[in-house]
A and B are shown apart, each in its own frame.
Chain A
């Protein structure tokens, strides 16, 4: 708490928290209340610009965009968080072990990561969803799997570099167990790029979810997802630009919020920055 207060000047922290807390509140409210029914269609009211009744306008079926954005926060948080968690946990574990242990384990692990990377992410996710069934959980798992290789690579390079540092040699000499050296000594020192990579993959996850939803493999319609709203609005970019703006701005702010918060967390975790 003291460090949090000490960083009160930190603009990243304030703005990041502000954005994410607003989204979080929006999500909580959306469980109980939205201004309009998110699935209620009203074709007579379609593609209306923002007005006092429909704050962000309506889509091609006359549904209220603001309500759908609200409801979409649930999907965004769920997919983003699960994807990033899977990607970071497994990516760090695989990359860390590969980098620290080295030798044939490194070779095997990283070649598997290369193989994963060789598939275009979306195709891999398509395959996984096709095998295990669509739905928000499977989509997130598939997207998390895609996020693993890049995070593993970043983790590996950090561990390879740091395992030769004298502080690691000194810990070895003292008799600290390898697992503890990896995750108590090295990990905190290589976490900065990982935190950044995590926040980037959060944004990527939301866009990938959009693509999957567009193909009918992500979130099942008519449940709203920002990504699919973005895709659906493409056709009306000229006639109803507000339709595109709403999910676009929502995604931008969400990713920005995560990015700023993760930057702030990175700075707070680093004792040298205080």
Chain B
């Protein structure tokens, strides 16, 4: 695989939520929001995580920051294990990891002025003098494309896109290395989405940031990501470089997702894969491969055995029994080679 420096390693991360039972039945069950997920994030890249609602992608983001406690597994940020740290220790490492939230209306305290909101992280850190703090707040708000006058206003005086810029400035004021963006543009108008995405890309370059970008929107993820992971029912079913995922999806679920993106091209007809049924409940996931109930290519083994992620040569990983046998692996590699050749030609 790549020799780039890993900034974050996730190993067998699990987040289960107990369902509160009735008086006589103590525990009614578990919702496996994040179910045995492992992946790495490399320095300076953007890893996009896509999945439909309820697939656990937001829980994944929150668990990495331990806003939700993990049930099991390891979270290693810059070589430090975060999963068992006490509050004070955790905060020391967590200041390099920040989050940009989904809803720009809920993520900014309505009773605080923008200056306070952006300056709060700096105030908490207590490393800058008051004058330095003011200067930093002003430079941050200008970096995200808002005028200085904005600092004296309240969040409700801004539009959704402007608020998201304030949220980004707030996250940046901690000098983070790693930002988890949880659907940062899904609440915004399409015209504003691209502005915010481009701002995030510019800031990534300027501050050398690493993003974990969570979204349900495949085209947004395609725009911003270097690598993409696809989640289904608390598991990662496929992860790999953006071009491989979008041009050569291996997992039947990814194939179905991508075939659902509307394209403006009347000559080229594309086969649309329609999935039947609803996604199963994460409190009662199907046995074996979680996707087998809706998979058009499912066979007997899928119902019994849970597939593990397997690699191919280009760094694409997929959790599907279609590719898990030895000869299938060869086919997989051959397929991707052919793809690369056709791309070159």
Binding site for B on A (CB under 8 A): 165-167, 169-176, 185, 188-189, 270-272
Contact = CB atoms under 8 A, between A and B. Distances in A.
Contacts of A175: 91, 94-95, 121, 124-125
Contact of B174 (A165, A174, A271): A174
Contact of B110 (A170, A173, A271): A271
B124 A189 contact: no
B178 interface: no
User: 3 tightest CB-CB pairs across the interface, nearest first?
Assistant: A166-B107, A188-B111, A166-B101
B110 A171 contact: no
B94 A170 contact: no
23 contacts: A165-B106, A166-B106, A166-B107, A167-B107, A169-B62, A169-B99, A169-B101, A169-B107, A171-B109, A173-B65, A173-B67, A173-B98, A174-B120, A174-B121, A174-B170, A175-B121, A175-B124, A176-B120, A176-B124, A188-B111, A189-B111, A271-B110, A271-B111
Interface string B142-180: 000000000000101000000000010010001000000
Given A175-B95, A176-B120, A271 B154 contact: yes
Given A169-B107, A272-B110, 9 more contacts: A167-B107, A169-B67, A170-B101, A170-B107, A173-B94, A173-B97, A175-B91, A185-B109, A189-B111
Contacts of B67: 169, 172-173
Contacts of B103: 166
B102 interface: yes
Interface residues of B, number: 28
Nearest to A180: B124
B110 A189 contact: yes
Q: Name A's interface SS.
A: helix
A137 B124 CA distance: 42
A188 B111 CA distance: 7
Contacts of B110: 167, 189, 271-272
Nearest to B120: A174
A75 to B, nearest CB: 36
A270 B112 CA distance: 10
B237 to A, nearest CB: 28
A272 B154 contact: yes
Contacts of B91: 175
Contacts of A172: 67
B290 interface: no
B108 interface: yes
Contacts of B94: 173, 175
Contacts of A173: 65, 67, 94, 97-99
Nearest to B97: A173
Nearest to A273: B156
Contacts, number: 60
Contacts of B102: 166
A231 to B, nearest CB: 43
A219 B98 CA distance: 58
Nearest to A172: B67
A174 B109 CA distance: 13
A66 B78 CA distance: 77
Nearest to A167: B109
Interface string B106-130: 1111111000000011001100000
A176 B124 CA distance: 6
A176 B120 CA distance: 9
Interface in B48-104: 62, 65, 67, 91, 94-95, 97-99, 101-103
Contacts of A170: 99, 101, 107-108, 167, 170
B173 to A, nearest CB: 9
A165 B110 CA distance: 12
Contact of A167 (B95, B106, B121, B124): B106
Most B CB within 10 A of own CB, among A165, A166, A169: A166
A172 B102 CA distance: 16
A146 to B, nearest CB: 30
Contacts of A174: 95, 98, 120-121, 124, 170, 174
A169 B59 CA distance: 13
Contacts of B62: 169
Contacts of B109: 167, 171, 185, 189
Nearest to A185: B109
A172 B97 CA distance: 12
B229 to A, nearest CB: 22
Contacts of A166: 101-103, 106-107
Contacts of A176: 120, 124
Contacts of A272: 110, 154, 156
A242 B329 CA distance: 98
B205 to A, nearest CB: 24
A173 B176 CA distance: 11
Contacts of A169: 62, 67, 99, 101, 107
Nearest to B88: A175
Contacts of A188: 111
Contacts of B108: 167, 170
Most A CB within 10 A of own CB, among B62, B101, B111, B167: B111
Contacts of A189: 109-111
Interface in B10-46: none
Given A188-B111, A272-B156, A171 B106 contact: no
A165 B62 CA distance: 13
B156 to A, nearest CB: 5
A3 to B, nearest CB: 12
